[in-house]
Structure formats: structure tokens, C-alpha cells
Amino acid sequence: MNKYESVIIINSSLEEAKIKALIEKFSKLVNEHGKISNVNEIGNKKLAYPIQKQTEGYYIVLEFEAEPAFISELERIYRITDEVIKFIVVKKEA
């Protein structure tokens, strides 16, 4: 299993309960296929440039271990989740 870091930017206009539900959804998904080592909620931050007419986003950083084949599925789920504005998954050095 490889170590990864995923930064997710969620629409900041969502209610706090919906944001927590999304974090729980992504954490559960990763734990089914690997192991989360850290979930860091950075919170609302101003975006460098507008994305989908949004100027702020709610930042979340997930650090986890998973098989390489799972990453494409995780990115697919990020793409089809309407509340996710932007995301990136990066492999960390061992």
C-alpha cells in the first residue's frame, strides 16, 4: 500500500452538518479500501481565483494509505459529488 494525501475543496455555502456528512462519507470510503492516518479540516479560506463562481471554499486534507487501483475510484467519486469544487490526490514519498 502507498501513502497518499488528498486535498478537497468543498462549497463553503453548505451547512456545517452537510460538510461533516461529506467528510464522514469520504473517510468511510477510504477506510473501506485502505487506512486513514489523519483528517485535517482547515476550514473556510479565500480561493486564489473564482471556481464555479465561488470565491471561498472549505478545505479538507486527508492523509491515508491505499492500493494504487483505488485512487482512480476515489477521484471518480470526487468528480460526481456536486459539493466538491476542486480536489487533488498526491502520492507521498515513503
Domains along the chain with CATH numbers:
2-91 (3.30.70.60)
**What percent of the chain shows pLDDT beyond 90?**
82
Find the mean pLDDT for residues 5-10. 94
Q: Is the pTM above the cut of 0.85?
A: yes
Residue 55 has pLDDT above 70, yes or no: yes
94 falls in which pLDDT band (50, 70, 90)?
Answer: low
Cα separation, 64 vs 44, in Å, equals: 22
Instruction: Indicate the angle between helix axes 16-33 and 68-80, nearest 10 degrees.
Output: 160
Per DSSP (E only), the strands in the chain are 2-11, 34-51, 54-66, 84-91
Instruction: Give the pLDDT score at 40.
Output: 92
Question: If we measure between CA atoms, which residue out of 83, 63, 78, 87 comes closest to residue 18?
Answer: 83
Find the mean pLDDT for residues 6-12. 93
Instruction: Give the pLDDT score at 1.
Output: 87
Q: Do 51 and 85 form a contact (C-beta atoms < 8 A)?
A: yes
